[in-house]
C-alpha cells in the first residue's frame, strides 16, 4: 500500500504525527502550507502560490521533491512550483488540505492520512511565530459561515470515491473520514458488501 501523510499546520499536528508515524514507516509526507515546518516533508501543496517562498523558508526539508500549487489562473511563475494547476478533483472550497487530497489522488496514493488538518477553526497554528499575513482556518471562528462551508466541501470529498482512501487523526475531519484504525473495518465492510 502506498501511503501519503498530509501534514497541516494546526496545533494538533505534532501529536497526530507522533501517533501515526510508527505505523506508517514507509509513508511519503506532503506538507500543506506551513505544515512543511512541522516535519520532514517530501512534497508541498498549497492554494497560496504567493507564499511559496515563505513555505520554502520554514520547511524542514530544504530540497522538496515536488511543489504543487493550485492557482485560479496559471499566473504563478515556474521559479518555485514544479506543477501549477487549475484542476481540482474535489470541491474547490475544501481548503489547501482538500487540494492536497486531489494531489495525492493524482499521484496514485492508495491511502491518505490527514495530520494537523482538523478543520475545526479557531485553534490557531502549531508554529510559535505568527504565520504569514493570511487569515485562514486557524484564525476563524469555529461557528463562522466560512468554516461551515469548508466543512461541507470536505464532507463532499468524504462521501466521494476519493473519501474511501482518506483518514484523519483529529477534529472534524476525523469524524467524517475516520481514523486509520478503521481501515480494516472499511475493507471488511466493502468485501462483505
Q: pLDDT value at position 12?
A: 92
Q: Categorise residue 178: left if φ over 0, alpha if ψ from -120 to 50, beta otherwise.
A: left
Q: pLDDT value at position 128?
A: 55
pLDDT tens digits, one per residue of 95-141: 889 889 988 998 899 999 999 999 987 665 666 555 555 556 665 67
Q: Across the chain, what does the average pLDDT equal?
A: 80
Asked if residue 36 lies in contact with residue 153, where contact means CB atoms within 8 angstroms, the answer is no
Residue 184 has pLDDT above 70, yes or no: no
Q: Using only C-alpha atoms, what is the Rg of the chain?
A: 16
pTM to 2 decimals?
A: 0.84
Residue 188 has pLDDT above 60, yes or no: no
Half-sphere exposure at residue 186, Cβ-oriented, CA atoms within 13 angstroms: 14
Rounded CA-CA distance 67/84 in Å is 8
Q: pLDDT value at position 106?
A: 86
Asked if residue 118 lies in contact with residue 173, where contact means CB atoms within 8 angstroms, the answer is yes
Domains delineated in the chain: 3-192 (3.90.1480)
Q: Work out the angle at residue 49's Cα, subtended by the Cα atoms of residues 121 and 91, and round it to the nearest 5 degrees.
A: 55
pLDDT tens digits, one per residue of 51-107: 888 888 889 998 877 777 765 444 544 455 655 555 555 555 678 898 899 889 988
Q: pLDDT value at position 193?
A: 45
Asked if residue 56 lies in contact with residue 80, where contact means CB atoms within 8 angstroms, the answer is yes
Amino acid at each position: 500500500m502506498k501511503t501519503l501523510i498530509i501534514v497541516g499546520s494546526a496545533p494538533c499536528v505534532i501529536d497526530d504525527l507522533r501517533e501515526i508515524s510508527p505505523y506508517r514507516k514507509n509513508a511519503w509526507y506532503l506538507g500543506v502550507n506551513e505544515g512543511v515546518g512541522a516535519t520532514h516533508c517530501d512534497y508541498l501543496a498549497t492554494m497560496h502560490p504567493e507564499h511559496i517562498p515563505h513555505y520554502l523558508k520554514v520547511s524542514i526539508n530544504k530540497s522538496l521533491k515536488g511543489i504543487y500549487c493550485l492557482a485560479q489562473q496559471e499566473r504563478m511563475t515556474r521559479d518555485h512550483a514544479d506543477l501549477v494547476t487549475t484542476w481540482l478533483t474535489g470541491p474547490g472550497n475544501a481548503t489547501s488540505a482538500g487540494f492536497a487530497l486531489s494531489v495525492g489522488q493524482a499521484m496514485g496514493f492508495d491511502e491518505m492520512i490527514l495530520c494537523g488538518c482538523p478543520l475545526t477553526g479557531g485553534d490557531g497554528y502549531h508554529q510559535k511565530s505568527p504565520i504569514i499575513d493570511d487569515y485562514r482556518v486557524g484564525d476563524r471562528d469555529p461557528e463562522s459561515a466560512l468554516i461551515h462551508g469548508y466543512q461541507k466541501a470536505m464532507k463532499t470529498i468524504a462521501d466521494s470515491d476519493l473519501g474511501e482512501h482518506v483518514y484523519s487523526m483529529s477534529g472534524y475531519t476525523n469524524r467524517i473520514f475516520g481514523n486509520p484504525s478503521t481501515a480494516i473495518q472499511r475493507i471488511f465492510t466493502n468485501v462483505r458488501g
